[in-house]
C-alpha cells in the first residue's frame, strides 16, 4: 500500500537524521536490513514523491555507513579494543602466555600475614620462660571478693527486709509495677527501680528479680535499643509453668548517679 511504503521510508530517513544530529551509535542501525526493504519496495514505486523519498532513504543509509567508518577510525586512533576482539584474542592465547599476562597484571589488595619460623621460636621461648600465675600474683595487693545471691535472712540481718513481710512487700511492689506500667502494660526497668536513694534502688531491683522469678512479671531485653522492659502480668503464674532464667544487671553507684543526673 502507498501509505505503508511512504511511512517506512520516512522512518528510515528520520532514523538516519537522528544518527547524524544526536550522535547515536551508527552501528545500532540495521543498514543491510533497511536496504533489503527498500529493494523490495523499489519495483512498486510509481509516483515522483515516492521515488524522491526512496532516494533520501538511500542517501541517509549511505551516510550511516560513512558514520560507521568514521567511528572505526576514531576508535582506532584511540587504540580502542572492542570487547569481541579482546575475547577472540584471549581464546587464541596459549595457556602459558595467558598465565604470564595474568601474573604481570595482578595487583592484589589483600595480603596474608603469617608467623615466620623466627617469630614462632620467640613465642615458644616467651611462654616457656613465663612465670606461673602463682608467682605473678605474689606480692600484689589483692582482695578476695565473694559473689553470689543474697538470701532473705541476710537481708533481714542487714535491716533491709524482714522475713515476715516479704510476701506483702512483693505483692505491693507488683501492684506498683502494674500501676506504673499503666495502659501500655510495660515500663522501662531503670525507670521503675530508680529512686532518690541508692540503697532503695538496689532494694527495688532485688524485689523485681523475685517478681520475674516468681511469675509476677516478665523481662524483655532489647540489645539494639539498649533498653530493658518490665511487663507486669495480670495475675501470678504457677511456678511449675514458669520458665525461669537469669539476667545479670549491674547496679553500681556510678550508674545510679549517672541516671539520676540524666533524669
Q: Give tens-digit pLDDT for 13-34.
A: 888 888 888 777 788 888 888 8
d(CA 185, CA 230): 9
Confidence of residue 240 (pLDDT cuts 50, 70, 90): very low
pLDDT for the residue 192: 86
pLDDT for the residue 158: 57
| CATH assignment, 152-262 | 1.10.10.580
Report the mean per-residue pLDDT for the chain: 77
Assign 187 to helix, strand or coil.
strand
Residues 108-115, mean pLDDT to the nearest whole number: 70
pLDDT for the residue 161: 57
Assign 88 to helix, strand or coil.
helix
Percent of residues, the chain, with pLDDT higher than 90: 0
Q: What is the DSSP letter of 22?
A: H
| pLDDT tens profile 129-149 | 888 877 777 766 555 554 455
Please enumerate, as own/partner, the contacts of 156-163 that have beta carbons within 8 Å and a separation of 24 or more. Answer: 160/199, 160/203, 161/203
pLDDT for the residue 259: 73
Confidence of residue 6 (pLDDT cuts 50, 70, 90): confident
How far the first Cα of the chain sits from its last, in Å, is: 87
| pLDDT tens profile 160-210 | 555 557 778 888 888 998 898 888 889 888 888 888 888 888 888 888 888
Q: Which string of DSSP letters, residue by residue, matches 221-253?
A: EETTTTEEEEEE-SSPPPGGG-----------H
Residues of the chain with CATH 1.10.10.580: 152-262
d(CA 67, CA 61): 10
Residue 121 CB-half CA count within 13 A: 3
pTM of the predicted model as reported, rounded to 2 decimal places:
0.37
Percent of residues, the chain, with pLDDT higher than 70: 76
Amino acid at each position: 500500500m502507498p501509505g505503508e511504503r511512504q511511512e517506512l521510508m520516512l522512518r528510515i530517513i528520520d532514523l538516519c537524521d537522528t544518527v547524524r544530529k544526536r550522535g547515536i551509535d551508527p552501528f545500532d542501525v540495521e543498514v543491510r536490513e533497511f536496504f533489503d526493504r527498500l529493494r523490495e519496495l523499489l519495483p512498486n514505486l510509481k509516483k515522483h514523491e515516492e521515488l524522491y523519498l526512496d532516494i533520501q532513504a538511500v542517501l541517509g543509509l549511505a551516510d550511516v555507513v560513512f558514520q560507521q567508518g568514521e567511528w572505526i577510525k576514531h576508535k582506532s586512533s584511540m587504540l580502542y579494543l572492542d570487547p569481541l576482539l579482546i575475547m577472540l584474542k584471549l581464546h587464541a592465547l596459549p595457556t602459558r602466555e595467558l598465565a604470564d599476562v595474568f601474573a604481570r597484571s595482578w595487583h592484589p589488595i589483600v595480603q596474608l600475614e603469617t608467623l615466620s619460623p623466627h617469630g614462632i621460636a620467640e613465642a615458644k621461648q616467651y611462654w616457656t620462660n613465663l612465670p606461673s600465675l602463682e608467682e605473678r600474683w605474689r606480692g600484689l595487693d589483692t582482695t578476695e571478693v565473694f559473689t553470689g545471691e543474697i538470701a532473705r535472712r541476710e537481708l533481714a540481718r542487714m535491716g533491709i527486709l524482714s522475713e515476715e513481710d516479704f510476701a506483702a512487700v512483693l505483692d505491693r511492689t507488683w501492684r506498683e509495677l502494674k500501676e506504673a506500667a499503666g495502659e501500655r502494660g510495660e515500663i522501662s526497668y531503670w525507670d521503675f527501680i530508680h529512686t532518690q536513694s541508692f540503697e532503695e534502688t538496689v532494694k527495688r531491683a532485688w524485689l523485681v528479680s523475685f517478681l520475674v522469678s516468681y511469675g509476677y512479671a516478665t523481662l524483655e531485653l532489647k540489645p539494639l535499643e539498649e533498653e530493658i522492659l518490665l511487663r507486669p502480668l495480670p495475675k501470678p503464674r504457677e511456678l511449675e509453668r514458669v520458665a525461669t532464667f537469669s539476667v545479670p544487671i549491674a547496679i553500681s553507684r556510678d550508674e545510679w548517679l549517672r541516671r539520676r543526673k540524666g533524669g
